[in-house]
């Protein structure tokens, strides 16, 4: 049952739709009606500029970290920011659930971000929250993946390409660092959610019509 609870906890965190809130408070706009219509970092940066984009990105990363940590603490899990009961003295090892609580919480966050119920299930694409989950699971692996993603933006100018590469690296990094079983399956679920949300971008990339990333400022 901890899996269900973690998904629900994560979903609650994910429903804090930062891009929508920032758009309403700082720009007096509904970000879903501006630019690409996506309630996420890339679109709000294009529409409102780097400051708004930075706030949205950081907040969306942190809400994923928070959900991962809360779920891990509640259900004896572990991660980069949680030592895990299996590493503490005087605790029965069978009580430890490893990385699963945090990962289920992370998937819940991404689902809540992408499909917030109060916005008719139209949210963002979950990349910033995926970064938060990646960092919470494996700090070193997350930093490496982030640097590769940053290089991808600089070289290609396509946020979508970078997002696809970054999310694909998550389960691959898991396997390289020796993780197996259910945790790796969840890594592929995280990747699948991101790729599903980018299906339109993938189609445009194949057609050669995808827009390159720019930073704008709405007048």
Q: Average pLDDT for residues 110-138, to the nearest whole number? A: 94
Residue 180 lies in a domain: yes
Element (DSSP H or E) covering residue 25? helix 18-26
Q: What is the residue-wise DSSP string for 162-213? A: HHHHHHHHHHHHHHHTT--THHHHHHHHHHHHHHHHTHHHHHHHHHT-PPPP
Which pLDDT tens digit goes with each residue over 17-37?
999 999 999 989 999 999 888
Q: Domain count of the chain?
A: 1
pTM over 0.75: yes
Residue 75 lies in a domain: yes
Residue 217 lies in a domain: no
Residue 216 lies in a domain: no
Residue 140 lies in a domain: yes
Residue 219 lies in a domain: no
Residue 171 lies in a domain: yes
- The radius of gyration of the chain's CA atoms, rounded to the nearest angstrom, is 17
What pLDDT was estimated at residue 94?
44
**Residues spanned by the domain of 52:** 2-207
Choice between 27 and 63, residue whose per-residue pLDDT is larger: 63
Residue 82 lies in a domain: yes
* pLDDT surpasses 50 at 161: yes
């Amino acid at each position: 049952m901890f899996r269900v609870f973690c998904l629900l906890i994560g979903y609650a965190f994910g429903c804090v739709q930062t891009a929508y809130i920032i758009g309403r408070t700082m720009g007096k706009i509904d970000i879903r009606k501006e630019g690409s219509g996506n309630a996420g970092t890339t679109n709000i940066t294009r529409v409102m500029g780097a400051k708004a984009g930075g706030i949205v990105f950081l907040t969306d990363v942190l809400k994923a970290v928070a959900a991962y940590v809360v779920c891990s603490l509640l259900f004896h899990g572990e991660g980069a920011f949680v030592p895990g009961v299996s590493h503490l003295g005087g605790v029965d090892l069978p009580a430890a659930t490893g990385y699963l609580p945090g990962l289920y919480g992370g998937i819940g966050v991404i689902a809540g971000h992408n499909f917030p119920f109060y916005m008719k299930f139209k949210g963002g694409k979950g990349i910033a929250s995926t970064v938060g989950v990646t960092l919470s699971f494996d700090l070193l692996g997350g930093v490496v993946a982030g640097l590769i993603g940053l290089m991808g933006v600089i070289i290609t100018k396509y946020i979508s390409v970078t997002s696809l590469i970054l999310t694909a690296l998550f389960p691959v990094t898991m396997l390289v660092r020796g993780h197996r079983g259910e945790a790796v399956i969840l890594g592929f679920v995280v990747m699948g959610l991101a790729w599903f949300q980018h299906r339109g971008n993938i189609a445009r990339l194949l057609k050669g019509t995808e827009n390159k990333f720019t930073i704008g400022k709405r007048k």
